[in-house]
A and B are shown apart, each in its own frame.
Chain A
């Protein structure tokens, strides 16, 4: 199993001392090579799940296992990407991609070779010497994906990586991400509030409730073309899956 959550609860204490439960008793697992999305209303603890997987903080109760090992801190088994590309503006694209390799005692030449390979993988040939501000938002996210893939993580965590992009760029980038991820066969956990995106890109979708977040539904997306969301997009079943998600999130009740 690539990723396991065993009855995980996370509480935060804010400055005034009140305790706040972000997620409650969350259990799920993700198979190797699987693409799982987590959807839910804003503030439901989606990002908390991601941060615990990345080892940025520990659960208050329960266990998080990556490849069977408990997560005890930030580690190289997990690569994460946020809505912000987090590229270092003072570095060019290729050295940005190398960033994650620098604490590994890897030789300079090996690092460059690895980074250039990922650069090609993410269709950024010819842009290695550009600086982030010279690239479009979509290209910057592709560079961030290349940086994430360069460390060869066992799991890729994507925290709403497409939400800051315009509609067209978003579709193209979803397609290119899905293709690249399918090629590498990486296990992926996508956090998103875009229900369509979840249906187009995933094998399975976990629906979280409002805070304190807990899993209210698990939907298996039984559709082909996971590696090509643009093809999946035109399939009639997509609407049905989205409708199911709608129901679980009780969006109609809220609208009323």
Chain B
């Protein structure tokens, strides 16, 4: 019953916002190139589909989001686990990791374009870089806090170092890894978008800068919405995977 109520409230809110979007700009005489109405955006979406290869741009962005996310999080997890197993290297490298983590990753985009040219490489690299850190930091943090007694127990049972990793440390850190991946998934969209905004001629980010150049606000709106959809789909997929993988965690009663 409570669930039904919240869904109804959310849906009502959506309808209200969409209605306001449709009718308010006209009522307040806001010009179309500042805030296009809902119908303007839908018309523009149709036009983009027909003349601007919208499908191709969307698929390209989605592909690089997923690819960058996969590579970046894999690297983050692997390096996080390696550092987590070596207190020495973790101490040696931690100031640099911190510095790189603080550095705004999107600012590297122009540099990558200078190095690799106007192709897909720069946006992939920005995405990998931006995804890498939250995963690394979450894994490293979790490795530090694995229950020492559990590790001692595994040692007492004669498990090898690798056995301890796969049977105790890795599963213990899984909740944090999943949390890192969830954060990373939302950042992946940002990485790809920035890469596409700065250079290249494909993707939704490109459509944003192209539409912006033409004062076509509807095009920019549409691209932003589609980017959000991509991020949302990726995030939802991760939440479902997380529910499956972490099925053993007690859930708070809804």
Count residues on chain A whose CB falls below 8 Å from chain B CBs.
Answer: 24
A56 shortest CB reach to chain B, Å: 5
Say whether, besides A90-B248, A133-B248, A80 and B156 are in contact (CB < 8 Å): yes
Q: Is A104 an interface residue (CB 8 A)?
A: yes
Main secondary structure of the interface of A (DSSP, over half): loop
- Is there contact, CB below 8 Å, between B249 and A55? no
From the candidates A80, A82, A133, name the one contacting B249 in the complex (CB within 8 A): A133
B178 shortest CB reach to chain A, Å: 12
Contact with B along A92-111 (1 / 0, CB 8 A): 00000001101110000000
- Is there contact, CB below 8 Å, between B153 and A86? yes
Complex CA–CA separation, A80 to B156 (angstroms): 8
Q: Which chain A positions have C-beta within 8 A of B168?
A: 88
Q: Which chain B positions have C-beta within 8 A of A75?
A: 156, 158
Q: Is B253 an interface residue (CB 8 A)?
A: no
- Is there contact, CB below 8 Å, between A102 and B156? no
From the candidates A56, A82, A100, A131, name the one contacting B157 in the complex (CB within 8 A): A100
B192 shortest CB reach to chain A, Å: 33
B246 shortest CB reach to chain A, Å: 8
Which range contains the number of B residues in contact with the other chain?
10 to 19
Q: Which chain A positions have C-beta within 8 A of B150?
A: 86, 88
- Is there contact, CB below 8 Å, between B157 and A151? yes
Complex CA–CA separation, A79 to B155 (angstroms): 11
Closest 3 CB pairs of A and B: A74-B156, A133-B250, A100-B157
Q: B-side interface residues toward A, CB under 8 Å?
A: 147, 149-150, 152-153, 155-160, 163, 167-168, 171, 174, 248-250
For this complex, 5 residue pairs linking A to B, each with C-beta atoms less than 8 Å apart, are: A74-B156, A75-B156, A80-B153, A90-B174, A90-B248
User: Given A78-B156, A89-B249, list of 19 further CB < 8 A pairs?
Assistant: A56-B152, A74-B155, A74-B156, A75-B156, A80-B156, A86-B149, A86-B150, A86-B153, A88-B167, A88-B171, A90-B248, A99-B167, A100-B157, A102-B157, A103-B158, A103-B159, A103-B163, A133-B249, A151-B157
Q: A-side interface residues toward B, CB under 8 Å?
A: 54-56, 74-76, 78-80, 82, 84, 86, 88-91, 99-100, 102-104, 131, 133, 151
